Structure 1
Amino acid sequence: MGQRLFAVTVVLVVLSCAACQSEGNSAQVSTTAAAPSGGEPAVVASDLDVPWGIALLPDGTALIAERDSGTVRHLQANGDTTVVGDVPGVAAQGESGLLGLAVSPAYASDRTIYAYLTTNDDNRVVTLRFDGTGLGEPTPILTGIPAGSIHDGGRIAFGPDGKLYVATGEAGDRPRAQDPSSLGGKILRINPDGSIPADNPTPGSPVWSLGHRNVQGLAWDDAGRMWATEFGANTWDEVNLIRPGANYGWPEVEGKSGEAGFVDPVVQWPTGDASPSGIAFLDGSLWVAALRGERLWRIPVGGDGTLGEPQSLFEGEFGRLRTVVATPGGDLWFSTSNRDGRGNPGDGDDRILMLRL
């Protein structure tokens, strides 16, 4: 069933685009801010089933991955969403399933989409061709990422360097995060064909950073700095500034510790205020979707990389928030995730909303 946009202005924006607690300065604040000057968010799409990955295509349309069903929907320029395929092999359980999506930097010529998904054996990254109406068969390019019903990571994104970055979790086995031979609890970096870049920190390894519990958000600012969100366990959720080869401490530390050998987060929140999933950079700020915290966080970024005081937006208005995407037209999309980690219905259907800045 197709869904319509609720306002013609939203359609025009689409057309203008250019191209569980687990899912519960160090800032430690809950400052509430008014909505940005663009006003309240408008609905882009509704009646979705746990939308997780959102991939903006060069023609201004978008692909949406639904976690539990393994279905990919096409949000078309007229506001309808249509099913374009089910990704085979998806084994959804708890937090796992069909997760992140990314668009090839060479999409105009190769029509390739990247997806992160859970199978019966592992989490993996695959490529699929999208011809505008349907998806081709998946081709695995990175396999063997530990999988479980919790802490599956799942965000994938191309960086300014043209490499694909893959956020993983330790799948409930804490020591994996500190094990350099495991792909769990890491941020990975690979070439678009799945091979390992020669300038990765460890030759022959896709590991870019380690010591992560469960990363579900990746973003770069205008200066090329890489930021990631991370779920804490009992005390602190995090935003980290990612450096190649750095160790972010899990499970030895949670939040700021000051311990030698570990990198402290640049922002930390009590777990009830965040459970941060997606992150995007737009209009001089990082925007973070909070699941348990049921809000959108805005964190100003200075030219030198220093962060301003986090501001809490829309607290409790839309329920759990999962994914944040900055559109080429300068708007912010964010999705709800109002089903719990076991796929049980939450308070209504899931939606994608648009905030005009």
Structure 2
Amino acid sequence: MHIEIFITTNYYIGCFFIYFFMLYYCYYFYNMNRKSKRILVYGIVLLCVFGMVVVYKKNSTLPLVILNAVRFYFAGNPTEDVGYAPVSSKDFTVSVLASGLTAPTRIALTPDGEYMIVTQLTGEVFVFSRKNGVWNNKSRLAGKIDTSVLGFPPEELGLVGAVFSSDYADTGNIFFLYTYKNSEGEIENRVSVVSLKERFGTLVFSADPEVIFTANVPGNFSHQITDGIGVSIEGKSHLLFLIGEGFDAKRAQDLTLEGGKVMVIQADGSNPLGVRPYPSFPKLQAVGIRNAYTLAQNQYDARKRVLIGDTGPDIHDRIIYAPFF
């Protein structure tokens, strides 16, 4: 308690001095000689470094968030001078279907191909419909997942995954993978499920989404829960999904922690069916994942192997090809 109060007090004192010297800088900078200007600038830099160190002691990820936000701000508009061209203009054309979205994270087509689900990091789930082979460029809101975070910038937290269940044609179920910041400020890796129903030519949530999974270890502002696929095991709907290690590499090899893993659960969040690779930890399908963002099942492979795009353990990223079932 004493250390926490000390850090908090010094943090606010540091902020006060930074603010004071910034005002001093604005009013008197142009009246100083060169040596005084240099001393003042060095002092401000040192105070900023001191403030970042204090913040790091309170929350080791916050300085990274601040730096990423600053970098994003000064990077400019990423769409400027960027164009898209088809590989073959004779066979393909490129056009903009919709604009004005806020950090879209996933695009998923319903199995019948009539609707397209688009999720935003901030939790909104939009639906585009198709009629006579032509997509409607006006989206409709199907529902919203409560993430209690603002999205990027400054953080990568929020709604990042949308997965149709293997029995979607019968149940209309869709899984949403996201991070949630609770009242204590801890980040939770979550999975919710909801049934979609057709209404007035679009899809909407039939009820409030139900949380079926919360990881047993806190997440982080990145390297979190990301993507999944709907699979059938012994005729029952399951979800196979990824959880990053939250910047703690030890989690990836610790079987007791639900981080840095490939996980599998039933549609209600219960333990999966079938033979399990780690019987004492039935929800674990594989270990050793760092920050995988996407996975897909090769439907043309007789073994139904799964491809995983993972951030590598060192300087190289990797694609993992694994027979999970």
Paired residues of 1:54 and 1:100 also in contact (CA < 8 A):
no
How far does residue 40 in structure 1 lie from its aligned partner after superposition? 5.0
State the one-letter code of the partner of 1:171: G
1:158 aligns with 2:245: no
39, 50, 61: which one aligns with 2:115: 61
CA distance in 2, matches of 1:163, 1:92: 30
Give the direction of change, closer, same or farther, for the CA distance of 1:150–1:84 in structure 2 (3 Å limit). same
Give the direction of change, closer, same or farther, for the CA distance of 1:92–1:178 in structure 2 (3 Å limit). farther
1:109 aligns with 2:162: no
Residues 19-34 of structure 1: matches in 2 within 5 Å?
none
Q: Which is helix-richer, 1 or 2?
A: 2
Paired residues of 1:167 and 1:216 also in contact (CA < 8 A):
yes
* TM-superposition CA deviations, 1:296-334 (whole Å, max 9, x none): xxxxxxxxxxxxxxxxxxxxxxxxxxxxxxxxxxxxxxx
How far does residue 80 in structure 1 lie from its aligned partner after superposition? 1.7
1:31 counterpart residue number: none
Q: Compute the TM-score of the two structures, normalised by the length of structure 2.
A: 0.59
How far does residue 216 in structure 1 lie from its aligned partner after superposition? 1.0
Q: Which is strand-richer, 1 or 2?
A: 1
Paired residues of 1:123 and 1:144 also in contact (CA < 8 A):
yes
146, 159, 162: which one aligns with 1:98: 159
1:236 counterpart residue number: 316
Q: Compute the TM-score of the two structures, normalised by the length of structure 1.
A: 0.54
How far does residue 163 in structure 1 lie from its aligned partner after superposition? 2.9
CA distance in 2, matches of 1:54, 1:228: 17
Q: Secondary structure at the match of 1:175?
A: helix
How far does residue 153 in structure 1 lie from its aligned partner after superposition? 3.6
1:290 counterpart residue number: none
254, 260, 275: which one aligns with 1:199: 275
State the one-letter code of the partner of 2:289: H
Residues 250-261 of structure 1: matches in 2 within 5 Å?
none
* Structure 2: gaps spanning 5 or more residues: 1-67, 69-85, 131-135, 182-186
1:148 aligns with 2:220: yes
35, 59, 72: which one aligns with 2:87: 35
CA distance in 2, matches of 1:232, 1:92: 28
2:142 counterpart residue number: 84
Paired residues of 1:95 and 1:150 also in contact (CA < 8 A):
yes
Q: Secondary structure at the match of 2:221?
A: coil
1:328 counterpart residue number: none
CA distance in 1, matches of 2:324, 2:165: 23
How far does residue 217 in structure 1 lie from its aligned partner after superposition? 1.0
Give the direction of change, closer, same or farther, for the CA distance of 1:90–1:156 in structure 2 (3 Å limit). farther
Q: Secondary structure at the match of 2:170?
A: helix
How far does residue 53 in structure 1 lie from its aligned partner after superposition? 2.2
How far does residue 60 in structure 1 lie from its aligned partner after superposition? 1.4
Which structure ranks higher in relative contact order (CA pairs < 8 Å, sequence separation ≥ 6)? 1
- Between the two proteins, what is the percent identity of the paired residues? 26
How far does residue 128 in structure 1 lie from its aligned partner after superposition? 1.4
State the one-letter code of the partner of 1:185: G
Paired residues of 1:189 and 1:200 also in contact (CA < 8 A):
no
179, 202, 210: which one aligns with 2:287: 210
State the one-letter code of the partner of 2:87: A
CA distance in 1, matches of 2:314, 2:254: 22
Paired residues of 1:126 and 1:139 also in contact (CA < 8 A):
yes
How far does residue 160 in structure 1 lie from its aligned partner after superposition? 6.2
CA distance in 2, matches of 1:230, 1:109: 33
Paired residues of 1:63 and 1:73 also in contact (CA < 8 A):
yes
Q: Secondary structure at the match of 1:150?
A: coil
83, 101, 105: which one aligns with 1:48: 101
CA distance in 1, matches of 2:321, 2:289: 12
Question: Which protein is bigger by CA-based radius of gyration?
Answer: 2
* TM-superposition CA deviations, 1:41-91 (whole Å, max 9, x none): 433332211111222123511111101x21111112223212222212443
1:190 counterpart residue number: 265
Q: State the Cα RMSD in Å.
A: 2.4
CA distance in 2, matches of 1:192, 1:123: 17
* TM-superposition CA deviations, 1:180-238 (whole Å, max 9, x none): 11111111112222222232211242111111111111112111111100013651011
Paired residues of 1:66 and 1:99 also in contact (CA < 8 A):
yes
CA distance in 1, matches of 2:159, 2:269: 19
